[in-house]
């Protein structure tokens, strides 16, 4: 082997090593970010299914970890609000903090969508026929107002549809697959949790052993209040 070829091989090996190191570091950052969010959901004192659903939602939208943890802890109703906030943030390309602020100012989700200039169509992706309850009424209203010029569906409907979009999008299935499960009495959160429980087995074990997310050596923690403004009014 010539000196030139030997040098080229050494350079290639170094480059490959650098790439592998960069990949490992990147994966470590992702894992650490997911842990930060998971710990935040533990402090919310949620049930297992709700906690897993929130973590899957976070994986789906992949916001910056510090932002995600802050948002979910400030949500008045984390399991309902977080999926909607992240869906609207993606659609509008606006910071999720801005959307949370609008919600904390007691705006309805439909009003927030109008302010963000987000089409209601994002809630109905994959729904080309009447999905039936609990989505059918909102779907029918949207079909009559496809441009969103008079979009005033209930907050509960927006939340249900956002959760449906998260579950279908994350698992790459038709929304009708999840709707079929709902007709059998399986909630969206339960559907998602059953499919992802193994991914969070280690974190779930730690959560059961330390249910309030207490840090070792720092005394007992306290449940965090959900947002400085309390619970927004129910507009349903």
Tell me whether residue 220 is in a domain.
no
Residue 153 has what pLDDT?
Answer: 87
Tell me whether residue 121 is in a domain.
yes
Q: What is the pLDDT confidence band of residue 215, given thresholds at 50, 70 and 90? A: very low
Domain ranges, residue 85: 3-209
Q: Report which of 31, 165, 139, 155 is spatially closest to residue 86, judged by C-alpha positions.
A: 165
pTM for the full predicted model: 0.76
Tell me whether residue 199 is in a domain.
yes
pLDDT digits (tens, 9 = 90+) for 115-172: 999 999 999 999 999 999 999 999 998 988 877 566 778 999 999 999 999 999 999 9
SS3 137: helix
Report, as an integer, the average pLDDT of 4-10.
52
Could you count the other beta carbons within 10 Å of the beta carbon of residue 187?
Answer: 15
The residue length of the chain stands at: 236
If one counts the domains in the chain, the total is 1
CB 151 within 8 A of CB 110: yes
Quote the CA–CA distance of 42 and 35 in Å, as a whole number.
Answer: 10
Tell me whether residue 195 is in a domain.
yes
Query: Which residues are within 8 A (CB) of 200 and not within 5 positions of it... i.e. 6 or more apart?
Result: 38, 51, 52, 55
pLDDT for residue 228 is more than 80:
no
> What is the CB-side half-sphere exposure of residue 24 using CA atoms within 13 A?
6
pLDDT digits (tens, 9 = 90+) for 10-21: 544 554 544 434
Q: What is the pLDDT confidence band of residue 55, given thresholds at 50, 70 and 90? A: very high
Residue 172 has what pLDDT?
Answer: 98
Tell me whether residue 231 is in a domain.
no
Tell me whether residue 20 is in a domain.
yes
Tell me whether residue 235 is in a domain.
no
Tokens matching residue 64: 């910056």
Quote the CA–CA distance of 221 and 107 in Å, as a whole number.
Answer: 32
């Amino acid at each position: 082997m010539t000196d030139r070829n030997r040098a080229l091989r050494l350079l290639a090996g170094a480059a490959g090593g650098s790439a592998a190191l960069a990949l490992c570091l990147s994966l470590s950052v992702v894992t650490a970010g997911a842990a930060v969010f998971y710990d935040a959901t533990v402090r919310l004192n949620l049930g297992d299914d709700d906690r897993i659903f929130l973590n899957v939602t976070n994986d789906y939208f992949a916001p910056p970890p510090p932002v995600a943890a802050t948002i979910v802890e400030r949500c008045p109703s984390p399991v309902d609000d977080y999926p909607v906030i992240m869906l609207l943030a993606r659609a509008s390309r606006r910071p999720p903090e801005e959307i949370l602020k609008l919600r904390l100012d007691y705006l309805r989700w439909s009003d927030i969508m109008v302010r963000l200039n987000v089409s209601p169509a994002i809630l109905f992706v994959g729904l080309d026929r009447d999905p039936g309850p609990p989505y059918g009424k909102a779907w029918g209203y949207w079909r009559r107002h496809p441009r969103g010029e008079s979009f005033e569906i209930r907050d509960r409907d927006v939340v249900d549809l956002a959760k449906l979009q998260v579950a279908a999008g994350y698992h790459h299935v038709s929304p009708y697959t999840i709707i079929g499960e709902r007709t059998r009495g399986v909630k969206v959160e339960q559907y998602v949790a059953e499919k992802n429980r193994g991914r969070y087995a280690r974190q779930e074990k730690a959560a059961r052993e330390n249910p309030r997310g207490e840090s070792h050596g720092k005394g007992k923690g306290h449940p965090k209040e959900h947002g400085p403004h309390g619970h927004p009014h129910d507009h349903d």
